């Protein structure tokens, strides 16, 4: 079982000012859980945050394992303090997740070799 779980209602892919943002959110309210991945459009280190920008770090992802119900992010051991010592973050992406398929495809492309099925 993951340390943090977000049940995504929305997926998002946005390119702005040379950065690619891929996110999944449980709702539209600021208090709802979310995950956000950010990377320069040309490639480079990925910033990952979970539900608050204070719970985030660059180059924090050890691996992402995708499955039929979403994906689980394993955080590098040396970066876990930035996430309140959470080791894993699960994102549930069901068929009702608006723009979920597009966001999953963009995230797969962003993470490359870190992504496992």
**Which sequence spans correspond to the domains of the chain?**
4-116
pLDDT (average), residues 24-38: 93
Instruction: Name the DSSP class of 53.
Output: T
Query: Is the per-residue pLDDT at 29 higher than 90?
Result: no
Contact indicator for 59, 44 with CB cutoff of 8 Å? no
pLDDT (average), residues 24-45: 94
* pLDDT in the model for residue 30: 78
Question: Rounded to whole angstroms, how far apart are CA atoms 114 and 18?
Answer: 22
Query: Is the per-residue pLDDT at 78 higher than 90?
Result: yes
Q: What is the pTM of this model?
A: 0.95
* pLDDT in the model for residue 1: 80
């Amino acid at each position: 079982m993951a340390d943090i779980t977000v049940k995504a209602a929305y997926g998002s892919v946005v390119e702005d000012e040379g950065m690619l943002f891929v996110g999944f959110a449980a709702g539209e309210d600021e208090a709802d859980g979310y995950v956000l991945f950010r990377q320069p459009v040309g490639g480079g280190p990925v910033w990952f945050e979970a539900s608050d920008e204070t719970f985030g770090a660059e180059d924090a992802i050890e691996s992402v394992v995708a499955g039929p119900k979403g994906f689980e992010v394993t955080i590098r051991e040396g970066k876990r303090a930035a996430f309140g010592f959470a080791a894993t973050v699960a994102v549930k992406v069901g068929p009702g997740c608006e723009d979920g398929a597009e966001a999953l495809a963009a995230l797969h492309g962003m993470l490359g070799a870190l992504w496992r099925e």
